[in-house]
Structure 1
Amino acid sequence: MRQLTTWARSTGHPGYSETLPREPESAATARRLVRASLSVWELDELADDTAVIVSELVANAVQHARRESIRITIERPGAALVRIGVVDFSRVRPKRRMPGPGDVNGRGLALVDELAQDWGTELLPWGKRVWAELHGKDEG
């Protein structure tokens, strides 16, 4: 079921996407794809935060989506801007919760909010994309 896609962006930087099974183990594959993309773009300083973010977004999709697959997207819309996304077949928008001190679950979007410069949800005709943006060091 895995399919890796590469496309050219107007910035001249490729984008990457991969369809993965909707299972917890896909977070590890998503982290590898993110780290490889950032390495190619020489934005390694974003690797740790981006890996945490993609893990949390995959975990949400695994828990709440409806079909057997999810899609990971990694784009570089600007020289120092990276946008990651997780696409699934549910149109229900994620909600950031404030977990209590003993809660094990519910911290994912709080982490995304803390680590990303911006994040949100795009509704699609058949589902949604939850995305996050991170900024690397400015060139020049």
Structure 2
Amino acid sequence: MTTPSKPVRTASTGHPLYSQTFPCEPETARRGRGLVRHALGAWHLDHLSGTAELIISELVANAFRHTPGRSIRLRVGRPGPVRVHIGVVDMAPARLPVLGPVDADGESGRGLVLIDALADRWGCTLLGSHPFRGPWGKEIWAELEAAP
């Protein structure tokens, strides 16, 4: 099993940002759950683990289904003292998430609906810019309230 990466930078709250690049494949969901558990444990926020692990699993599954890239970056951070940020970065800025109606008989398409129900807020952030090519990627993210 891969151990979570060391923090790569310090957030404004003084908490580290855990960030690691993995292959864009279904197995990465298991690694993402481990990264989330590690970060939440370090912050003594274990009570958020079940919800956060489900969110990272859905974000990874969506990246695998909708992103042509071979790798994704998983991020777990604390943008503020009472928030946990969980994100997946890919290099497909033109493929934005769409929260739409779910087919009652369908076997997929519920990921964003589930994230919308579980997270306090979620969204998409375009990353980088170039005057002619535009952004190089995006982060699909969700945030949870971190109050103990």
TM range (shorter): over 0.9
Identity %: 47
Unmatched segments (≥5 aa) in structure 1: none
1:103 aligns with 2:106: yes
Q: Secondary structure at the match of 2:49?
A: helix
Rounded Cα–Cα distance in structure 2 between residues aligned with 1:129 and 1:89: 9
Retained in 2: the 8 A contact 1:97–1:107?
no
TM-score (norm 2): 0.87
Name the counterpart of 1:129: 139
Retained in 2: the 8 A contact 1:45–1:136?
no
Q: Over the residues paired in the alignment, what is the CA RMSD in angstroms?
A: 1.5
1:79-118 matches, cutoff 5 A: 79-91=81-93, 92-118=95-121
Rounded Cα–Cα distance in structure 1 between residues aligned with 2:99 and 2:11: 31
1:1-140 matches, cutoff 5 A: 4-6=5-7, 7-91=9-93, 92-124=95-127, 125-137=135-147
Retained in 1: the 8 A contact 2:92–2:136?
yes
Higher mean displacement: 2-11 or 54-63: 2-11
Retained in 1: the 8 A contact 2:83–2:146?
yes
Give 1:98 deviation, angstroms: 1.8
Equivalent pairs counted in the alignment come to 137
Q: By percentage of residues, which structure has more strand?
A: 1
Retained in 1: the 8 A contact 2:12–2:80?
no
